[in-house]
Structure 1
Amino acid sequence: MGKIIVSENVTLDGVGQDPTGEEGFDRGGWFTRISDADRAAWAEVEQAEAMAAAALLLGRHSHDWFATRWADRTGAWADRLNALPKYVVSTTLDEPRWANSTALPPTEVAKLKDTMDGDIVVYASRQLVHTLFEQDLVDEVRLMVFPFVLGAGDRVFGEAAGSMRLVEARRIGADLTFLTYRTVRF
């Protein structure tokens, strides 16, 4: 059985919206405001996560965003992301653009989890993350916390309710924090 891992970049107040400033959110671009050293430390963690993943699970918009940025890149991290099986949860997508991608109806996510072995990592995809929490399909949450308070914006967890147990907390670079939580099921 696979393990669904939500892996997100968030601000201190839990906002995941518009990290690169491309969506037009007036408080977006917070990801770009970290130091080069912190960005390098962040990249090490993200690359290690990709190397350990069995598959990616993405919403349609996140799939499109990643496909336009990673499909033509090379190097160990890019090669791994491009080679990984990717499942795009969508009711309208017929032909995913990124190599090794398969469109998956939302009703099939639980079946995917049951039939796969290893980590199924979810990047970005806030709407999908909300749905996964509502369906009690999330096993682990990994948060890279950026040292900014935006005071507004879409939060990663929305109105999801649940209980988590802290597994790991560590400093990444000078100003980032990496938190790992496991879902507690009662």
Structure 2
Amino acid sequence: MGKIVISTNATLDGVVQDPDGQEGFELGGWFHQFASSNDLEAWTADETEEALGAEALLLGRRSSEWFMSRLPSFEARVSGKWAERMNNLPKYVVSSTLENPQWNNTTVLNGDAVKEISELKRKVDGEILVYGSYQLVRTLMEQSLADALRLVIFPVALGTGLRLFDETSDKKPLHLVSARKIGDDLLSCTYEFVRD
């Protein structure tokens, strides 16, 4: 059975919005602004190891398009192994509007998202990574479909911006699996969602 792992970068106060500064958020760009070259090198190594260990990607339409449009530039500056793995992994994109995905190995899930993701978890054996896709992430958490959360916390508090846990209908208990420093100032934490 598959295990859905939400993997994301966040500020110390939980903001996930516009890490690269490309979305126009006035406080965007914090990913590179508050990470040293040593941090980014360690982050890249972690990210590559994570992708190499995954069996599939689960994405929302906008995140899928974002990654696909940036893979050539990622290949130029990030480990070729990571970009190659991203291209070759089976990808499942939740969308009611995407008809002809341009990214290879992509299957569109355009029906009942909860039903189709539940079926995907039964079908895939191993980790199903979720990058970005914050609308989808909220659905996964609300419907108890997410199994784990991996956060890389950046050393800055923004005070405002879209947060991962902005809108939850109830408490979401988590169990800390691991926490470790990466690079000079980044913290990598892995949590598992606690089920009743």
Normalised by the shorter chain, which TM-score bucket? Answer: over 0.9
Whole-angstrom CA distance in 2 between matches of 1:60 and 1:166: 30
How far residue 69 of structure 1 moved from its aligned partner, in angstroms, is 1.1
Pairing partner for 2:133 from 125, 132, 137: 125
Whole-angstrom CA distance in 2 between matches of 1:138 and 1:157: 13
Output one character per residue of 1:49-96: Cα deviation in whole Å (capped at 9) or x when no partner.
Answer: 000000000011100000011157372111111000000011111111
Where does structure 1 differ by over 6 angstroms across 4 or more consecutive aligned residues? none
Residue in 1 aligned with 2:172?
A: 162
Sequence identity of aligned pairs in percent?
53
How far residue 35 of structure 1 moved from its aligned partner, in angstroms, is 1.0
Q: Tell me the SS of whatever aligns to 2:21.
A: coil
Q: Tell me the SS of whatever aligns to 1:44.
A: helix
How far residue 157 of structure 1 moved from its aligned partner, in angstroms, is 2.1
Pairing partner for 2:119 from 111, 129, 141: 111
Residue in 2 aligned with 1:83?
A: 88
Residue in 1 aligned with 2:64?
A: 63
Whole-angstrom CA distance in 1 between matches of 2:40 and 2:72: 21
Whole-angstrom CA distance in 1 between matches of 2:178 and 2:26: 32
Aligned residue pairs total 186
How far residue 158 of structure 1 moved from its aligned partner, in angstroms, is 2.3
Which region of structure 1 is more displaced relative to structure 2, 107-116 or 3-12? 107-116
Pairing partner for 2:97 from 67, 92, 100: 92
Residue in 2 aligned with 1:4?
A: 4
TM-score by length of 2: 0.92
1:56 alignment partner AA: L
Residue in 2 aligned with 1:19?
A: 19
> Can you give the 5+ residue segments of structure 1 that lack an aligned partner in the other structure?
none
Which region of structure 1 is more displaced relative to structure 2, 94-103 or 52-61? 94-103
2:28 alignment partner AA: G
| RMSD across aligned positions (CA) | 1.2
Output one character per residue of 1:89-141: Cα deviation in whole Å (capped at 9) or x when no partner.
Answer: 11111111211111112241111111110000000111110010111101000
